[in-house]
Amino acid sequence: MILKDAASGFRLGLVLPKEMFLKASLKRMIVEFRARSGNDMRVLKADGDGSYVSNDFRAVLSEMLIHINYSGAHGHRQNGLAEQEVRVAKKDLRVNCAHSGAPNDMWGGVVPLSKFHLQ
């Protein structure tokens, strides 16, 4: 998941954990995002896939007074900015991994464990 503050451009990314840890991780991520961006999060835009539609995910957003807007199913054009952010994050991870000197077969471990600050 990548959160981006439209006003400041600050981005924060995190690979969401399994369902049993979702609530606590999401709360921590939102608190950190608010603190680092300097802005409140009032609206979250997401596609209607996976964890984004779970009851736990929606409960956390509701508890933190965040409204969620979903793009249409298979509506990649409606979610163009999010798709772009994902491409940028993947590119940044590839570059960082390459510059670290880590072998290519480490990708399986690097990406799921990565908590990355993109700005």
CA gap 35, 85 in Å, rounded:
21
> How would you write the pLDDT of the chain (119 residues) with one tens digit per residue?
778 788 888 877 776 666 666 788 888 888 988 998 888 888 888 877 777 888 888 899 999 999 988 877 666 666 677 677 777 777 777 777 777 777 767 666 655 555 554 44
In the chain, which ranges are continuous DSSP H helix?
22-37, 55-63, 80-100, 107-113
Domains of the chain: 2-117 (3.30.420.10)
Residue 60 CA to its chain's centroid (Å):
15
The greatest distance separating any two alpha carbons of the chain, rounded to the nearest whole angstrom, comes to: 43
CA dihedral 72, 77, 82, 85 (to 10 degrees): 160
| 94, 106 Cβ separation under 8 angstroms | no
Q: Please give the DSSP secondary-structure letter assigned to residue 3.
A: E
